[in-house]
Structure 1
Amino acid sequence: MNHSPDTGTFQVIHAYTRAEAIGDGVLVDVTDTAREAGYLLPVAMTSAAWAEAVAWDETNRALQDEAGRLWDVLWMARPAAARTGFGQTRIAFDVLRVPNHPAATEPHRVTLHVHIGPGDDGHAVLTVLLAHED
């Protein structure tokens, strides 16, 4: 943003929308599955959170799939999402998941965050992200 000292207003130089982030693969739209899980708001995951907690290579030894792993993330995020909005826009939650590599068979805990904020149209949306992501 540029600030104009004469008028005290800000001019947007560039905006990167949520829709563009989804189109570019920076965010993964999981709204359809989230609605099945009882969410009322649109939900997306960062590609890094998806890779860490949902992505699954079918050649791995543990019997899992991306649909089940996504359901686990959404199920665990829901109580955290319900706590947002009361002075907090971001809440941490944990998910147990088997790492996505062929030798892995034991689940490990990963901490994710759910963030509530305005979407492209100003209405509330949820984003699931890793702890170090903004």
Structure 2
Amino acid sequence: MNDFRSLKPISVYSTKQAVDDGFLIQVDQKISQEAAIRHPVYLTRAVWHKYVEVPKGMEGHQDQEGRLWDVLFMFALFARKESSSHLLFELLVQLPDIGNWEPNEKVAERSNRLLREVTLKALITARDFDDPSPAIFIMIPFED
């Protein structure tokens, strides 16, 4: 019988490496604490690019800080009602209607195709393979 405790991983891609490579964006802890989130928060590049960065043409109407706040606030609101380490939550996001709809998005109001109801997934797990302290990872539902 194999003793799996003695096996060494073939390769490990750490959270730190993912941040360094730009696949994860760590939210400034001061901002996440303002949203009443105690643990470090990481967003995938896909979430950051699509839902936090201000889309071209909407620069005068929105800012990146406000869009980030929306993601964090809605996560915190849904997380208060959940005891699982896995959470799906919704938020409303304004995006230009240029045919770039994702499976996790739907029209929020029939009269306004710029407003999308977006579903995101959050996982609370170990911060890194060598750091068991909790961290929150927010991603598009089909990302892992």
TM-score w.r.t. length of structure 1: 0.82
Q: Name the SS for the 2:87 alignment partner.
A: strand
Report whether the alignment pairs 1:46 with 2:44: yes
Question: Of 30, 33, 36, which aligns to 2:34?
Answer: 36
Q: Over aligned residues, Cα RMSD in angstroms? A: 2.4
**What is residue 109 of structure 1 aligned with on the other side?**
117
Unaligned runs of 5+ residues in structure 2 are 99-111
Percent of aligned positions that are identical: 28
Query: In structure 2, what is the Cα distance between the partners aligned to 1:105 and 1:41?
Result: 35
**What is residue 26 of structure 1 aligned with on the other side?**
23
**What is residue 138 of structure 2 aligned with on the other side?**
128
Query: 1:89 deviation in Å?
Result: 1.6
CA contact (8 A) 1:55 1:100 kept: no
**What is residue 68 of structure 2 aligned with on the other side?**
70
Q: Name the SS for the 2:91 alignment partner.
A: strand
Query: In structure 2, what is the Cα distance between the partners aligned to 1:16 and 1:98?
Result: 33
Q: Name the SS for the 1:119 alignment partner.
A: strand
Unaligned runs of 5+ residues in structure 1 are none
The number of residue pairs the alignment matches comes to 127
Change (3 A) 1:30 1:63: same
